[in-house]
Amino acid sequence: MNEKALIVLYSSIKKFIRARAYSKLWNLTKKVHAADIAAIMDKLFPSERIELFHVIYNNDIEKAADVISELDPDIAAEIIIKSDFPPEKIVELFRHISSDDVVSILDELPEEIAEKIKELMSPKRTEEVEALLSYKEETAGHIMSTDFYALSEDTTVADAITAIQLAREKESGFYLYVVDKEGKLVGVVSLKQLILNPPSTRLKDIMNRDVISVTVDTDQEEVARQVSAYNLVAIPVVDHDGKLKGVITVDDIIDVIEEEAAEDLLKMAGLEEIDRITTPPIKSIRKRLPWLYVNLITAAVVSSVISLFKGTIQKYALVAAFMPITGLVGNAGVQAIAVMVRELALGEVSWETTRKALLKEILVALGNAVALGIIIAILGQVVTGKPIIGLILFLVLLGDMVIAAIAGTLIPILWKVAGLDPAFGPGTFLTMLTDGFGYFLLFGLTSILIGKLM
């Protein structure tokens, strides 16, 4: 369904929910792909989501399970909590959801609910889920699926095909993994190779021995990098003995990439966690305040710089009107940060690269400072009628731009060395520096130069 059709469907669903026309709602949604229902649920308000979910659950529990699998795990968890289902009903729902999706929802549920659900699951399911939960969040072991084809090296193509026929339901259907007697991953065979080779061929004779795999404790971002770099549709996950433990498919990798990208964008604005229109205000306040407290401290630092020049400001109040010039410099510094953050996201940055980056950013800063400074100097002179103010503004811009270039290059690196996330926070510290230094230059030069030349 394309975006326009989704919008039309969204309006109809809203209308039926508002009218409590539940049978109409079910007739409308029963033939819609679970992914489309999930996309619409994402845009609904929490109470509407729950109404829609109840309608689907009461008519077709498998469809409800599909929708839950397609939703963001935090939204899925919220629906489950707010639906007031007894744990038995949740377990019934989970029976139709793959273990890896169950794990991502359990991650988001309050511990006591999660524990109760785990107690009620079948022993086999509990074992599968506990195995995944035993790996740290955001690692390959935690997000992998344990649903895969693994056969021995001596299996023939014919037997491999029979094995696939017997296990029709398996999720990841593009590759067959080949393991030795100890369960160690030794090769991979694509379904296409099965088709292209005679039935009596043994897998060991056609398998690709150069399997790209990750270990259970590989970070999910590194898994995503490899799947993306090698154009894979699935990547096997092995333990430290090389034994095959699971498989991660490309659709889960896309979810990882999109999640990380969304987080990076919010972090640039000083939001550590996902905040939505539908998030209750009190929760949003709690998410946003910590960052604003940090901003309060940096603002206080800048304030104290300004307060040093009370006398100058009193004497030359006119110059205060040029304070916004530092905002311009701050934005130039943020551009440098954005470039460095991306560079760091693409991999390691060496000292040699840092040196080159620093040199480059200073050159860019000087170029931009001259281009902008001439205009500002002329404006300053025309508006105030004092050539000396034009000169002061030009020097402020030049000096502060260089500070912005240095800070914009080094702050993200220092952040990374210190183990902090380079997307989170550097901008505020940069603007503290550019504002503080900029005001210092502006009022400092004013008190020195105007005093002497006027």
Which parts of 80-139 interact with a copy of itself (CB under 8 A)? none
Residues 8-27 that bind a copy of itself (CB under 8 A): 10
User: Which member of 331, 391, 416, 447 binds a copy of itself (CB under 8 A)?
Assistant: 331
CA 49 to chain centre: 24
Q: Is 237 in the site for a copy of itself (CB under 8 A)?
A: no
Give bridge partners of residue 235 from the DSSP assignment. 248
Q: Which stretch binds a copy of itself (CB under 8 A): 34-42, 51-59, 131-139, 235-243?
A: 34-42
Q: In angstroms, rounded to a whole number, what is the distance separating the alpha carbons of residues 24 and 13?
A: 9
Sign of the Cα torsion 394, 400, 403, 409 reads negative
Distance of closest approach, residue 24 Cβ to a copy of itself, in angstroms: 20
Distance of closest approach, residue 139 Cβ to a copy of itself, in angstroms: 13
Residues 266-305 that bind a copy of itself (CB under 8 A): 266, 268-271, 275-277, 279, 281-282, 284-285, 288-289, 291-293, 295-296, 298-300, 302-304
Q: In angstroms, rounded to a whole number, what is the distance separating the alpha carbons of residues 38 and 97?
A: 15
Q: By the 8 A CB rule, do 117 and 109 touch? A: yes
User: Which member of 23, 119, 258, 417 binds a copy of itself (CB under 8 A)?
Assistant: 258
Q: Is 428 in the site for a copy of itself (CB under 8 A)?
A: yes
Closer residue to a copy of itself (CB): 46 or 183: 46
Write 287-295 long-range contacts (CB < 8 A, 24+).
294/270, 294/425, 294/428, 295/270, 295/428
Q: Is 321 in the site for a copy of itself (CB under 8 A)?
A: yes
Q: Is 200 in the site for a copy of itself (CB under 8 A)?
A: no
User: Which member of 254, 378, 382, 417 binds a copy of itself (CB under 8 A)?
Assistant: 254
Closer residue to a copy of itself (CB): 113 or 364: 364
User: Which member of 13, 227, 377, 410 binds a copy of itself (CB under 8 A)?
Assistant: 227
Q: Is 418 in the site for a copy of itself (CB under 8 A)?
A: no
Phi, psi of 177 (to 5 degrees): -100, 145
